[in-house]
Amino acid sequence: MTVRTRFAPSPTGYLHIGGVRTALFNWLFARKHGGQFILRIDDTDQQRNVAEALAPILSGFRWLGIDWDEGAEVGGPHGPYYQSQKSARYQDAVRQLIDKGLAYHDFATPEELKAERESAEKEKRSYLYSRKWLAETPADRARFEAEGRKSTVRLKMPRAGTCRFHDHIRGDMAIDWVSEQDHVIQRADGSCLYNLANVVDDFDMKITHVIRAEEHLSNTARQIFIAQGLGYPLPEYAHVPFVAEPGSKNKLSKRKIAQYLKNQDFKKIYEHGQNIAAVLGLTTSADTFNPVIVDFFEQVGYLPHAIVNYLLLLGWSLDDKTEFFTREEMIKSFSLERVNKAPASYDPSKLWAFQDHHMRALPLADKVERCLPFMHKAGHAADAAKVELIIRAAGDRIKVAGDILDYADFFAPDHALKYDEKAFDKRLRKAPESVRLLTAYKDRLAGIEPFDAAKLEKSVQDFVAAEGTKLEQIIHALRVAVTGKAVGFGLYEALAIVGKQGCVKRIEVALAKIGN
């Protein structure tokens, strides 16, 4: 048997990291067993679907390196891979179930159904539809239609016995059929609902393992009923735990960002991303740009592998000590049997630690390749050689690729450098001795060869000794004049990156600013 798994996102919004975790488990299982991973699009709910929302979903998976063998934009022998394109196929399945007496046309109105539910509540009994408006014959249908009623199609679920199946994560399951309602599988307008479409698609696409979020566990019995009624072989099931909110056991939601911002670790990541987005001129809001959406991490400059490595360990573990995996190690090690049943809490500080680890381990050339586009997006004519020098000097200060923007002033025109006005006031405007020293030192810069950190450090030390003053009398003024800031990586590395002519020009501009 060739293993075939699938993930079926709905194009109703941005790609949620909880969904990514489920897709990742499907992808890893398929890759480990030499099978195929299918990405199909669950767009049966046309009222909620947003066409433009599909692009960031597909882009997000590609960015994360979760590729698919068949599906949206790829095609394959078992399409269509969009549920909206399979209406006729679903209608045929509905007819088969009706013909077998496993489904029926129901002409109850919403008001009549509501009355039945309220009656059950009043009598303190479990609600079970009476099937009073069931139409089993053409004559029944004609009578109801003559009354102006419209019909849905419902499953005619068993009302005795037990549905049994095995779940790779939760073990042997048993669900009493009487607990299942007569679920609607076709709306009055003829469109079909998720439970039917899902079963038909899994059969058509030869899915062998249904690995999905635990909230779908409640769908399994009705889907087994549909599959058996249509004569389909059953796939194997595995229901993974949901990703929980930070510090909570409630399901993580992209609609509760305001609540999550009370978590200081979450807030720190969120504000860090917002600062980078502001420099890039991105239009953002907490609803569409936050650390539960993949697009956030991509635009801020996280490493996709760091995200994937972290998500792998949300509900799965190899042992009690191994945290960091290569992609190949993930595939080799993954198994459904090691997935935990309990929800896994999303920990922003842990995610940050994974990003920090993988960023530190990234080769310098790869860091340059990831950081350089951020300079270009911000409108700076940056070159790779200079970005490399900045990355070397900044070291571990660059946690995500977008952090390179903190050093955009190295690419600013010398005459247009922006200053930290508080630092400028303290270190230059109100420090006449520092200004005198800076003016005198400026003339020494032309004679420094080579213009590197080591030579610059010796030059400043020699100058201070000759002047009979302390080092701090000039270094703070020199940093503010050349970089515009009071703090940063090594001063001499910064001077070397700006270059001889740039340093001279920037000092002249700073001195002129004091005079003005």
Eight-class DSSP state of 338 = G
Helix, strand or coil for residue 321?
A: coil
Least Cα distance to 399 among 354, 437, 443 occurs for 354
> Token digits for 144?
């109801």
- Residue 458: active-site member: no
DSSP secondary structure of 423-442 = HHIIIIIT-HHHHHHHHHHH
Strand order in the sheet with 171-176: 171-176, 162-167, 236-240, 209-213
- Go through the chain and tell me how many residues it has: 516
Least Cα distance to 289 among 55, 67, 14 occurs for 14
Q: Give 101: exposed, middle or buried? Use CB within 10 Å, 0-12, 13-18, 19+.
A: exposed
Helix, strand or coil for residue 152?
A: strand
CB 35 within 8 A of CB 208: yes
**Which member of 32, 100, 122, 254 is catalytic?**
254
CB 436 within 8 A of CB 474: no
Distance (Å, rounded) from C-alpha 244 to C-alpha 345?
A: 4
Distance (Å, rounded) from C-alpha 30 to C-alpha 167?
A: 17
Helix, strand or coil for residue 186?
A: strand
Residue with tokens 């809001």: 285
How many C-beta atoms lie closer than 10 Å to residue 472's C-beta?
10
Distance (Å, rounded) from C-alpha 181 to C-alpha 152?
A: 14
Provide CB contacts within 8 A for 52, sequence distance 6+. Answer: none
- What is the Rg, in whole angstroms, of the alpha carbon atoms belonging to the chain? 32
Q: Count CA atoms closer than 13 A to 187's CA, side-chain side.
A: 10
Least Cα distance to 255 among 292, 221, 227, 228 occurs for 292
Stated as kind and residue range, the H or E segment containing 240 is strand 236-240
Q: What is the largest CA-CA distance in the chain?
A: 110
CB 154 within 8 A of CB 184: yes
Active site members: 254
